[in-house]
Structures are given as structure tokens and as C-alpha cells.
Amino acid sequence: MYKGLRYAGFFAAVLLPTACSYGAPEHLRNRPAASPAPAAPVTPASAEQRAGFERWTEGFRARARAKGISDGVLSRALASASYDPDVIRLDRRQAEFARPIWEYLDSAVSDTRLRNGRNALAQHGRALSAIEARYGVPKEVVAAVWGMETSYGVNRGKKQIISSLATLAYDGRRGAFFEEQLIAALKILQAGDTSPENMRGSWAGAMGHTQFMPTSYLSYAVDFTGDGRRDIWSDDPTDALASAANYLNKMGWKSGQPWAVEVTVPAGFREAGKSIKKSPAQWQAQGVSPVRGGRIADYGPASILMPAGANGPALMIFDNFRVISRYNNADSYVMGIGLLSDQLAGRGGLQKAWPRSDRALTESERKEIQSRLMQKGFYQGEIDGVTGSGTMDAVRAWQSSVGQTPDGYVNEALLKKLRG
């Protein structure tokens, strides 16, 4: 769980789609985006890298001692730590193409993931029901997080966390952040919750069934089994599932509130976006209606999200959407959790079809969109090809200025209009 960057979890090792909002998941703040398992053979560290890493390690020991880490813990944890070039390669990896949101959701809510999720609910139903009773988060939502993060515990990661974090702290783009995570990992070891050998996870330092970063573990992990340890690493997922529920609870989960309701919007609808909030009654007075008919109960303030533009599904999203986004701030991830949990609970999926004829833009095309928006005075962020909330807000502002539906959707048609 990694906050700040688009550092999604280890969930199913998939890339996040272009039409997503990247931002600041609270407990996952700065957690690196999941990347596919390395296809190339691991490159050994060079003599220069090893020497530099050893010098850094000696300096780090003094800083760790100042943070309260004992010499015994340091010696044991760092004895087997080594520089891992593969971690740096994954950290700097940038995909040229991003997946459209529908392809992402096809994977997130696949038949296999649903089947495995139902099996997981059956196998761990008693524990999940007890977790729901204590924290108020539906067991299907907790199971969906588990399924998205590690495919129900199958893909928990095999990297040694101490080596990965030390490598990123020494040679990464966010050294201070990863050193903070490394200190937190050492505090976990010092508390006796696990051993350095057992502390394994993703290349970016996310751990266990629900992929907590070390600082998140210290703040939100719980000992639900009562054995005296907050064990998110073992084959028994109970503590990890309870920790995820505890996190969502602490972030403000509202019992009985849906994460979203699929709706239809009237022609020429111009109020899509998370910044515009109204009651369900106010939205319905403007012609917004649930696709399955009837009326939407007053679950509190809601926004209208159109993740694939005016030609795709529209969602009325509530506070629980925001709560899930604190786990991972990509809209696609939140939708994956929401749709997966809905279907695990026996509710249906989306009714309106996605505009599957739209192709994914290349990184250079996404950068061009940002550059053109900047030239027109609508975008102030980095030209990085990442379609985050800043880019989508800029798109909406430009669309409004030229009389188009301000849905924030980034596609080839938008690029052509910006060029025109």
C-alpha cells in the first residue's frame, strides 16, 4: 500500500489503464506500480554497485540506530541484504502503451477471479464474517481487495523485502521514502512479528496477502487471530484480511452505502467529475437515473464519473468510492474492487457497453495531449504521459471552454480535436 505515486499494489501484476486517476492512496502512499514479473534474466550487481551499496549500508546503520533499531536487529537483517539490480530495473520500467479501462476490468473481474473469489469466500467465510462484524466492511469487499492484490494469496511476491527496500533507498528515485519504509520494516522485525527470511513480498516492498507497505503495517495491521503477532505473511490470511478491513474502516467506510450505482445521464450532461457533489435526489431531478430503474436512496453526497467518456458507462459514486481509493487511488482499481465485490455478493455488473473500438494511446500521444493543454493554459503539471487527475481536470476544463461534454476522457478523438 503505497501513497503519492501511482504505486499500485501487487494486484495481479497488471498495468493501470490510461483513463484512470493516479494519486495518493493513504496507506499505500508512494507504493510503486505493479509490474509484470521480469522476463529477462536477473543481471548481477556490478563491483561498483556492490561497493557503493556497502558504503551506503554503513551510513544507514547509524541512521537506523538513531531511530531506535538495535544492533542485533540491524546485523541480522542486513547480513543477507544485497543490491538487487532487478528491483531498479522494475522501478524505472515505463510501459509505452496503457491498457484501456475495459481491458483492465476484464482482467480484474474475470471468470477465473470470480470463481476463485467464491471459493475463497467459502473457505474463509467464518473468518471473513467475523471481520465484517468487527470492522463493518462487507466480506465481499475485503475478499475483492485480496483478489486484486495477490489473486487470493497466490501472488504475494518472493522478493526479500529488506534487500528490495535497501536497494531502492540507496539507488532509487525516491530514496528518502524507501529509507523510511526500510526503517519501518526493521521495526517490524524488532517487534518479533516475523523474521528477515520470512519477510518477502513485491519488488517495491509491499507485503503479505493484501500488500501492506511497512509504514502501513505499523499503523493498521492487526492481530485478529489473537496469537500475539500481526502475521500478514503466513498461509493463513486472517490477520491480513482483518488488517485490510481495519484500514478501510479507519478511512471512513460507511456501512450500507454502495461504492457506486450505475446511472444514465441526459443528453448534453456537463457535470461529470469528482469535484461536483450533489444528493441523489438533486441528480435525479436533473435527469440522472439508475440503469436498473427506481430511485436511488439518499446515501449522501455523490458525484458522476464517466470513466470512458460520454459513450461509456456512467456511475454515481459515493464516499465509499473514496474510501477504496485510499487503498489505491486509480479509478480503475476502485472500479475493479467495486465490481468484483458486487458480483461476489450476487449483484450484476455494468449494463452499458464500453467503447471498445477506442484504441489505447501511446505514451508520446498522451504527452502531446498534456503539452497541448499546457499551451492552451489548462494544464500545469508534468509532461509525463500519465493520465492522472490533473490531466483529466485539465481536459474537462478545456472541453467546457469549447462547448464539449466535459467528461475528462483521454482518447484519440480528444487528441485530434486538440490538434485541430
| Four-residue CA torsion sign, 78, 80, 82, 86 | negative
Annotation marks residue 149 as catalytic = yes
Q: How far apart are CA 367 and CA 24, in angstroms?
A: 21
Q: How far apart are CA 183 and CA 177, in angstroms?
A: 10
Q: How far apart are CA 213 and CA 182, in angstroms?
A: 10
Which residues lie closer than 8 Å to 89 by C-beta, 6 or more apart? Answer: 38, 43
Active-site residue, from 26, 149, 179, 365: 149
Residue 7 · residue 33 · CB < 8 Å: yes
Residue 199 · residue 207 · CB < 8 Å: yes
Q: How far apart are CA 312 and CA 281, in angstroms?
A: 23
Catalytic residues: 149
